[in-house]
Amino acid sequence: MLPCLNKKLFGVDCLGCGMQRSIALLLKGEFAGAFHMYPAIYPLLLLLTFLGFNLFVKFKYDSFIKATLMITSIVTMVISYVIKMKIIF
């Protein structure tokens, strides 16, 4: 696995820390473990799947769907980061 440059330099996790391990767990079929490692993995996979599918098939509300999936992914990343770092709780 590639080390996180942010964690190596500053000693603090970044918003993407855990994504590589989560993908590795997904490839092994450990879906709950992948979610536990990085909760934003499923919204990100859904977004990437939609973007790839949208290259070939155009939808009427594709920009709304893309924006919704992007916002969902970002919000999930931020909430999981805040919980992981115990900033609020």
pLDDT confidence of residue 7: 85
Between CA 32 and CA 8 the distance in angstroms is 27
pLDDT at 1: 79
Instruction: Please tell me the distance from the alpha carbon of residue 48 to that of residue 7, in angstroms, as a whole number.
Output: 26
**Interval 16-49: pLDDT, tens:** 889 999 999 999 999 999 999 999 999 999 999 9
pLDDT at 75: 96
Residue 89 has pLDDT above 70, yes or no: no
pLDDT of residue 86: 82
The token duo for 55 is 């290259």
Query: Tokens 């964690």 label which residue?
Result: 7
Task: Give tens-digit pLDDT for 52-68.
Answer: 999 999 989 999 999 99
Residues with Cβ within 8 Å of 12's Cβ and at least 6 positions away in sequence, in order, are 6, 85
